[in-house]
Amino acid sequence: MKPCIGIGVIGFGTVGSEVVRLLLEGIERPDFGLELKKVADLDIVTPRGVEVPKELTTTDAEEVIESEEVGIVVELIGGIEPARTYILEAIARGKDVVTANKALLAQCGDEIFHAAVEAGVDVGFEASVGGSMPVIRALREGLAGERIERLYGILNGTTNYILTRMEEEGLPFSEALREAQEAGYAEADPSLDISGRDALQKLVVLLRVAFGISASPGEVFCEGIEGITPQDIEYAREFGYKVKLLATAKRVGEGIEARVHPTLVPQKSMLANVREEFNALELVGEGVGHQLFYGKGAGGRPTARAVASDLVSLASRRLSGATPRVGELLDSSGLKLMPVEEAVMPYYFRFLALDRPGVLAQIARVLASEGISIASVIQKGRAEEAVPIVMMTHEAREDAVRRAVARIDELEVVRGRTQVIRVEEL
């Protein structure tokens, strides 16, 4: 009889119930099987569309962690605590761990991976980034040894759905958000998504896997999509771009530039065509060139599939007695995060200025004095009151842009705050 690895699941929600379903349907390999031994949730009575034998259920997560029968613990409750404690306890007991918890890995990744190295166990986290897209596996296996130069991700489905609605229906942000909530793509409290923080947590996980650096979310520049207007999207289109919430990381010298913000990307690029709630990650490797992964970044079934793929890998490694590769996830590259102020890229500006002769000259003078060079300008209509002046620049430094915009916003002829959107040519 072939060996069987016991699985314990903590968290019986959308993803947990699909993981349990896959396990009960049977995940088999020629060499081994996986068997569900325990499922814990505070609410274990609400029907989840999957029949679990009553003796496998518990409301006490400790029962999962302490069970002698469980070799791999799957943590699917999310958030920092008590997930962190459960995972560290499971590791201390010599169990492998699979988690979809990007918030925890972003904030406490070092602690968890260090603990795993000490205990000689492994941690799978494919489900923490990009749902079923196998991006962690691709980076750690297929591209192991490849020097990743840059990565660009659309890592949050809610904001991509909102931006798609704004673009395709001309909706203002607030209406597109309401539509996303009605369609079930946005939470009642959508702030984690629209602020960019969800994408930021995923970027921090990717920074570790792709570049070997351990960053904390607070160190990475992050801006949400609340300030984007349908007008910006329309002007971007006229310049040949679309607006996406992009997570970007690049090697620059001995450092890594990393940031999350609304970004103009060229219309012809693959990322510009990622619509609705889909996610995508584009990697640029020294040898392999551009690679892109695209798929559903969330949802019970896609995420459960990612968890299952980790379970198979970890069980296979466990049975073979091979050394876990979790040590390579500890900060080792010596690379440093660069301050965002040093980042260099093109910019989109939308100024609101009085429609008078010489206004453009005043703005252009400030930009020139900060070394910012204008690539193209759109100025439409004439009005009694203020009119938008929209501009694309050549490459400029973030700190120079901030100084220039602050000075422009104080010009007497300028009304309201200038809209700044960063640009990536990809």
Residues known to be catalytic: 202
Window 244 to 283, contacts with a second copy (CB under 8 A): 268-270, 272-275, 278
| Total H helices, total E strands in the chain | 13, 20
Q: Which is nearer to a second copy, 223 or 424 (CB)?
A: 424
Query: Which long-range contacts does 415-418 make (Cβ < 8 Å, 24+ apart)?
Result: 415/352, 415/353, 415/354, 415/385, 415/386, 416/352, 416/386, 418/349, 418/350, 418/351, 418/352
Q: Does 158 bind a second copy (CB under 8 A)?
A: no
CB of 207 to a second copy, least distance (A): 21
* Interface residue with a second copy, options 107, 201, 309, 418 (CB under 8 A): 309
* Residues in CB range of 321: below 8 A, 6 or more apart: none
Neighbours of 379 (CB within 10 A): 15
Q: Does 332 bind a second copy (CB under 8 A)?
A: no
Q: Does 153 bind a second copy (CB under 8 A)?
A: no
Residues 350/388, Cβ–Cβ less than 8 Å: yes
Q: Which is nearer to a second copy, 224 or 285 (CB)?
A: 285
CB of 138 to a second copy, least distance (A): 5
Q: State how far the Cα of 193 lies from the Cα of 186, in Å rounded to an integer.
A: 8
Q: What is the DSSP string of 89-150?
A: HHHHTT-EEEE--HHHHHHHHHHHHHHHHHHT--EE-GGGSSTTS-HHHIIIIITTT--EEE
Site size for a second copy (CB under 8 A): 57
CB of 419 to a second copy, least distance (A): 27
**343 phi and psi angles, rounded to 5 deg:** -65, 145
Neighbours of 357 (CB within 10 A): 6
CB of 186 to a second copy, least distance (A): 19
Q: State how far the Cα of 420 lies from the Cα of 348, in Å rounded to an integer.
A: 6
Residues 311/73, Cβ–Cβ less than 8 Å: no
CB of 106 to a second copy, least distance (A): 22
Window 20 to 79, contacts with a second copy (CB under 8 A): 22, 27, 29-31
Q: Which stretch binds a second copy (CB under 8 A): 40-48, 60-68, 103-111, 315-323?
A: 315-323
Q: Does 169 bind a second copy (CB under 8 A)?
A: no
* Interface residue with a second copy, options 175, 214, 293, 379 (CB under 8 A): 293
* Interface residue with a second copy, options 3, 290, 369, 371 (CB under 8 A): 290
Angle at alpha carbon of residue 275, lines to 223 and 277, rounded to 5°: 70
Q: Does 184 bind a second copy (CB under 8 A)?
A: no
* Interface residue with a second copy, options 85, 323, 373, 376 (CB under 8 A): 323
* Residues in CB range of 417: below 8 A, 6 or more apart: 409
CB of 214 to a second copy, least distance (A): 19
Classified as helix, coil or strand, 401 is helix
Q: What is the DSSP string of 22-56?
A: HHHH-EE-SS-EEEEEEEE-S---S--SS---GGG
Q: Which is nearer to a second copy, 64 or 307 (CB)?
A: 307
State the DSSP H helix or E strand holding residue 205, giving kind and residue range, or none if neither: helix 197-211
* Interface residue with a second copy, options 294, 352, 354, 400 (CB under 8 A): 294
Q: Does 126 bind a second copy (CB under 8 A)?
A: yes
* Interface residue with a second copy, options 79, 82, 327, 371 (CB under 8 A): 327
Q: Does 306 bind a second copy (CB under 8 A)?
A: yes
Q: Which is nearer to a second copy, 204 or 274 (CB)?
A: 274
Q: Does 378 bind a second copy (CB under 8 A)?
A: no
* Interface residue with a second copy, options 35, 146, 234, 409 (CB under 8 A): 146
Q: Does 90 bind a second copy (CB under 8 A)?
A: no
User: Among 206, 204, 214, which residue's Cα sits nearest to residue 138?
Assistant: 206
Paired with 290 in beta bridges are 284
Q: Which is nearer to a second copy, 271 or 345 (CB)?
A: 271
* Interface residue with a second copy, options 138, 207, 389, 423 (CB under 8 A): 138
Interface positions with a second copy (CB under 8 A): 18, 22, 27, 29-31, 126, 131-134, 137-138, 141-146, 268-270, 272-275, 278, 285, 287-296, 299, 301-302, 304-306, 308-309, 312-313, 316, 319-323, 325, 327-328
